[in-house]
Amino acid sequence: MIDLPTLRLKPKMDPRRLRHGYPWVYDNELVLDRRSKAIAPGSLAVLADADHTPIALVAANPGSRIAGRVLDVAGLTELTEDWFAARLTRALDLRERLYPDPFYRLVHAEADGFPGVVIDRFGDTCVVQPNAAWAEVHLDLLVAALRRVTGATNVLKSAGGRARGLEGLDDVDLVLAGSAPDAPVPVPMNGAVYMADLTGGQKTGLFFDQRPNHAFTAALAGGRRVLDVFSHVGGFALAALAAGAESALAVDGSQPALDLASEGATRSGVADRFSTRKGDAFDVLTTLGAEGETFGAVICDPPAFAPSKPALDAGLRAYERIARLAAPLVEPGGTLTLCSCSHAADLEKFRTACIRGIGRGLYQTGRSAQLIHTGFAGPDHPVHPQLAETGYLKALVFRL
């Protein structure tokens, strides 16, 4: 049996939360003496209570705010390829029951038993984001198990996540197995085709999390003009066109993203009803308002305005401003969809900011709003019951 180092809770720390499944141990909850501080980031360790009773096997990183990530029960002393394969098999079973095609989030971090690890699947290519030190240490085993379980030929490492810096990790993307696709990958979703750039795009190349919100919004867009702001590769716009929207205008600050959206429109057979506009979203919304433009469906899906608690107040003001500028662009009886992927802005705070912004945007018009739907990430992004951060995505659909 391998003799592992021990991380011990401080005497006043109640271990019941961890015994009941909470996956993180913070640095201020532990006795971090010279020996524990010397544990190499990503090493396995035994988490024990103040009385030295083992609680769990954890991945240690004494230099991180999250100093321990729970991996398994106490008593296990090493991770093998079979350990990774068993968890990947469980994750794969869910996705294969949900989706007919192999395009989905295969691993959603803690909720799938892989703390800090995200894996998105694009057919025979998987893109891994190892955002915690333990995953970087065990990357060879993870990749071997991933290829074995899924049959994937290619495995890429995406190292651009903000969390990697907090874990003391590099930002170097790599090909871990096989080869990188030499062109964007076509992804069928909600009746449309999206083009995913797996090596030069944002995050892993495509956002699977909005799939059910694309579908809900698209179902209301038939025969209407659609405005998709922060469109990326055409998320809401292409789904709406596939569902019969009259036209769609995609707005984004990235020309490469808009080029991919245009290619997706061509592959989806809707290019004649699709157009793009490059620019700052706030500026474009302001200009469209000044021009008197209106649309039957307006969607705003910005990046995280409040990625952390210090950014919360500024982020909520930004969400309110987006709602204020977007609301007047919605024709009577149309819909306004407002999204947030900010961990720090919970649903109540986000909803309050959006309602305040809509109220300001429609002030003195005599119009009112109905909140008709609250959406979240798709089921391939399961939520850890004790970790609210895994349920980060919110989508509010208003009828104005």
The span from the CA of 131 to the CA of 101, in Å, is 26
Kind of pairing between the strands at 54-60 and 330-340: unpaired
Question: pTM for the full model?
Answer: 0.94
What are the catalytic residues?
341
Asked whether the predicted pLDDT for residue 163 surpasses 90, the reply is no
Q: DSSP state, 228?
A: E
Q: In this predicted structure, which of 13-17, 67-71, 124-128, 252-256 has the lowest mean pLDDT?
A: 13-17
- What per-residue confidence (pLDDT) applies to 164? 86
Q: In the chain, how many domains are there?
A: 3
Asked whether residue 229 is assigned to any structural domain, the reply reads: yes
The HSE-up count of residue 255 (CA atoms within 13 Å, CB side) is 0
How many Cβ atoms are within 10 Å of 48's Cβ, its own excluded? 18
- Label residue 162 by pLDDT band (50, 70, 90): confident
Backbone angles phi, psi at 45, to 5 degrees: -150, 160
Domain end position, chosen among 26, 45, 73: 73
CATH number at 280 reads: 3.40.50.150
Share of the chain above pLDDT 90, in %: 88
Express each pLDDT in 274-315 by its tens digit: 999 999 999 999 999 999 999 999 999 999 998 888 999 999
CATH number at 148 reads: 3.30.750.80
Both 129 and 10 in one domain: the answer is no
The span from the CA of 297 to the CA of 127, in Å, is 33
Both 66 and 90 in one domain: the answer is no
Asked whether residue 1 is assigned to any structural domain, the reply reads: no
Domain that holds residue 266: 186-399
- What per-residue confidence (pLDDT) applies to 1? 55
Both 26 and 100 in one domain: the answer is no
Q: In this predicted structure, which of 6-20, 80-94, 291-305 has the lowest mean pLDDT?
A: 6-20
Both 150 and 242 in one domain: the answer is no
Both 279 and 199 in one domain: the answer is yes
Average pLDDT taken over every residue of the chain = 95
Give me the mean pLDDT over the 10-19 stretch: 91
- What per-residue confidence (pLDDT) applies to 388? 81
- What per-residue confidence (pLDDT) applies to 168? 85
